Amino acid sequence: MSNAGEQKATTIPHVVSEEVVAAGKWVKLEKTTYVDPSGSTRIWETVKRTTRQGNSDGVGIFALLKRTLHKDCVVLVKQFRPPMGCYTLEFPAGLMDENETAEVAALRELKEETGYQGEVVAVTPVTCLDPGLSNCSTNIVVVNINGDDPVNIHPTQQLGDGEFVDVILLPLNEFQTRIDDLLKKENLVVDSKVYIYAMGMVQALAKPNELPVLKQ
C-alpha cells in the first residue's frame, strides 16, 4: 500500500534534534526536528514527561479479582483527571519509580490505588499511549488477585496527597455492557485501553468460527 500523498519513501526517517521549548515539573514541550521518509526535514511539536527513567514512563494494570462464588471482576479506577476536566474510568496505573521494574511498580501501584495485593502473570512490551502527541509509553501488567486471601477481604488504599481514587469492580463476562451502563449514568470518559479491551472481548466471544459468506 502506498502513501495517500503518493510521495516515494526513500529515506529512513529519523530524529535530528530535540529543543526544549517549555518545561514544568512533570512535563515538557519540545520542538522535534526530523527527516521524513521522502528526505524532507520537518518539525514536530512533542510532549514528554520529565520523570522518565528508561524506555517506559509507567505501568497500566489489568487486574482480575478472583473470588469463590463470584464472577471474575476487572479492577478499574475512577478519578478526576485535571487535563480532561472530568472523571475518567481507567485501569489502575502509575509512574515507575527510579530503578523499579514494571512488575514491582504494578504491584505497588495496585496496592496504593486499590488496596488489593496480587501476583503478576504477564507483562506486555513497551506500548505507546498517544504517539502523535507524546513519547509517553507504558507496560501493561496482567495481575491476578486472590480475593479469598485474607489480605484482600477488606482492601485498604494507600493514597498520596491529592489522590482521590474510587475502585470499581466490573464482571469480566459483561465488561462492555457494564461500562456502557456506567457511561450512561455518570459524566465519565473511559480510557481507550479499557474500552478496546471490552470490545475485543465481545468480538472474540461472538461467533469466533464463523467464516465470511462468499458473495456471488
| Of the candidate residues 73, 76, 91, 94, the single one contacting ligand LXVLRK3C (CB under 6 A) | 94
CA dist 123 and 139 (Å) reads 7
Stretch that binds ligand LXVLRK3C, among 13-21, 37-45, 90-98, 129-137 (CB under 6 A): 90-98
CA dist 132 and 41 (Å) reads 17
| Of the candidate residues 5, 125, 132, 160, the single one contacting ligand LXVLRK3C (CB under 6 A) | 160
- CB–CB of 115/155 below 8 Å? yes
Nearer to ligand LXVLRK3C, 27 or 183 (CB): 27
CA dist 28 and 30 (Å) reads 6
CB of 58 to ligand LXVLRK3C, least distance (A): 6
Q: Which residue is associated with the grid cell 511498580?
A: 105
Assigned C-alpha cell, 196: 478496546
Nearer to ligand LXVLRK3C, 26 or 164 (CB): 26
Answer yes or no whether residue 93 interacts with ligand LXVLRK3C by CB under 6 A: yes
| Of the candidate residues 5, 6, 14, 26, the single one contacting ligand LXVLRK3C (CB under 6 A) | 26
Stretch that binds ligand LXVLRK3C, among 12-20, 88-96, 123-131, 136-144 (CB under 6 A): 88-96
CA dist 127 and 135 (Å) reads 10
Answer yes or no whether residue 110 interacts with ligand LXVLRK3C by CB under 6 A: no
Here the contacts of 68-71 (C-beta below 8 Å, separation 24 or greater) are 68/147, 68/148, 70/147, 71/171, 71/172, 71/173
Answer yes or no whether residue 140 interacts with ligand LXVLRK3C by CB under 6 A: no
Tell me, rounded to whole angstroms, the distance of Cα 159 from its chain centroid.
Answer: 20
